[in-house]
Amino acid sequence: MKKILLSGLSVALLTTSCVGSLEDNFNVDPKSPTTALASGFIANAERTLARTVVSTNVNLNPLRFYVQYWAATDYPTESRYDLNTRSIPGAFWNALYRDCLRDLREAKATIPNDLSVPAASKANATAVAEVLEIYTWATLVETFGNVPYSEALNFTNARPAYDDQAKVYADLIARLDVAIGQFNPAANTGLLTGTASADLLNNNSTALWIKFANALKLRMALTLADVDNAKAKTMAEATVGKLPASNADVIDLAFNGTFPNTNPLYEDLVRSGRTDFVGTSFFINQLKGTTGPVTGTVDPRLNDYFDPATNPTPATNLYNGGTYGGANSPETNSQPGAKLRAQTLPGVLISYAQVEFLLAEAAARGYAVGGTPESHYNAAVTASILEWGGTAAEATAYLAQPGVAYATAGGAGATYKQKIGYQEWVALYNQPVDAWREWRRLDYPVLTAPTTAISGIPVRFLYPVVEQNINGANYSQAAAAIGGDKVETKLFWDKF
């Protein structure tokens, strides 16, 4: 049985096995436990997943570069799409396979005999692990394409076959429907340590887990929409009335103020003492309203997303962006804002604003999800502004601007993908994995690779080098099946 220890988490991860006699009971060494709690495995998977998708560490998650939120200061290599020097694909792959999926499999195997999970909650606890697995698998498929799936996570098989990405996605959707049906709203998830909740995401709330599962279903539905509109429509319509309904329903993990369980952005932006990132001129100028579809209107999130430059040039240019793909001064350009540097900033898996943008798109596609594209778009923009500390009055004033209002955003002839794509890109600023996927789907805003780039803007990660070396035959077959192991190879759902 795998053993884990998370310093600082209020979760008792290890326990002794159930005993059958007094002799067994008195001969158990409490310092050498033989069985781990399911709640410990789930907590560790939740923590790793949240840290992975929000991280700014360029060894793991360079996606804020890819969607052009940030530029580098001293080390621009990763912003030029060099993935292999730092083995970025391998780090991302390992975090999800080894540290998330493996733990979740252990959790599901442990739950039936885990005495800390009440009998009435075992189905819910299993469904929690399954929803987290599906989220993680979907992220892998959306990042790499074909991946080891049916033969994965078997320590006796070091060379698992790769499964077809579309078939994996279809199986994940079927599994998600089963998991949603497995939840019992009358019971909690049973993920407790004593009387304390060990569920780091949803605080043991079955109601919130059901909303999370349906939000994931909606997200996966729209991911499929350009390749299977009928299936996407059915899936999206099935989530109506079962989704997060306000910012109070955000699916996130609140980090604490004790290292190593602080917000990973704090670790990279503050604790490291480094100044590696500034905003791009492309992003900051659009937030300032000097360029882009919202010209003349300052986005109320500007001063939350970025700090004023410490030595702006000219002095009146408080918010200034650097050159994407180049080296930049951290003093004359705006660095990430104070809110991103907070030790306890939550790591978001699905936000309410994100759900409303998905509903806006679903309505624009003609799906029966209630409301209109405009009503959901307005709710999404408002939710994002409120999420970052803005006011309802600021949101109303912003939405009244011609470049923002749904009816006129993007100018004459603008499509729903253009209108929603821009605002969703702005809103997903601290959800870089989601921002990258939605940009690939909607193709807005229009991004251009820097002249210094070694490739086009990546629309997938390369497979890890270790897979090429150890699992070479299956790697070669997978690479050929998707059209080549290149960052420009589009995945099955990325039709346009």
What tokens were used for 261?
Answer: 């369980």
Would 62 be classed as within a structural domain?
yes
User: What is the C-alpha separation between 278 and 396, in angstroms, rounded?
Assistant: 29
Would 358 be classed as within a structural domain?
no
> Residue 479, CB half-sphere, CA atoms under 13 Å: how many?
18
Task: Give the range of the structural domain holding residue 157, as residue numbers without chain letter.
Answer: 39-254+346-351+428-482
Would 294 be classed as within a structural domain?
no
Which residue's entry shows tokens 């100028």?
285
Total count of domains within the chain: 1
Predicted local distance difference test score (pLDDT) of residue 36: 87
CB-based contacts of 202, cutoff 8 Å, min separation 6 = 189, 208, 209, 212, 251
Q: What angle do CA 103, 106, 112 make, to 5 degrees?
A: 140
Tell me, yes or no, if the pTM score tops 0.85.
yes
Predicted local distance difference test score (pLDDT) of residue 103: 98
Q: What angle do CA 305, 309, 315 make, to 5 degrees?
A: 135
Predicted local distance difference test score (pLDDT) of residue 76: 97
Would 157 be classed as within a structural domain?
yes
pLDDT one-digit tens code per residue, 48-89 = 999 999 999 999 999 999 999 999 999 999 999 999 999 999
CB-based contacts of 162, cutoff 8 Å, min separation 6 = 146, 147, 148, 149, 474, 475, 477, 478, 481
pLDDT one-digit tens code per residue, 437-468 = 999 999 999 999 999 999 999 999 999 999 99
Would 206 be classed as within a structural domain?
yes
Predicted local distance difference test score (pLDDT) of residue 175: 98
Predicted local distance difference test score (pLDDT) of residue 34: 59
Predicted local distance difference test score (pLDDT) of residue 35: 72
Name the stretches of the chain with pLDDT < 50: 1-26, 28-33
CB of 426 within 8 A of CB of 399?
Answer: no
Distance of CA 207 to the CA centre of its chain: 21
What tokens were used for 383?
Answer: 């939710």
What CATH number is attached to the domain comprising 63?
A: 1.25.40.390
Using CA atoms in the order 485, 488, 492, 493, what is the torsion angle rounded to 10 degrees? 150
| β-pairing verdict for 196-197 and 162-163 | unpaired
Beta bridge mates, 280: 322
Would 262 be classed as within a structural domain?
no
Q: Look at phi and psi of residue 489 and say left if phi exceeds 0, alpha if psi is from -120 to 50, else beta.
A: beta
DSSP states of 318-344: -S--B-TTS---TTTSPPBPGGGG-TT
User: What is the C-alpha separation between 356 and 346, in angstroms, rounded?
Assistant: 20
CB-based contacts of 312, cutoff 8 Å, min separation 6 = 318, 320, 332
Predicted local distance difference test score (pLDDT) of residue 194: 75
Using H for helix, E for strand and C for coil, what is the string for 84-131? CCCCHHHHHHHHHHHHHHHHHHHHHHHHHHCCCCCHHHHHHHHHHHHH
What tokens were used for 210?
Answer: 């059901």
Would 130 be classed as within a structural domain?
yes
| β-pairing verdict for 35-36 and 14-15 | antiparallel
Q: How many CB atoms lie within 10 A of CB 480?
A: 11
Nearest CA-CA partner of 211 in 250, 268, 184, 173:
250
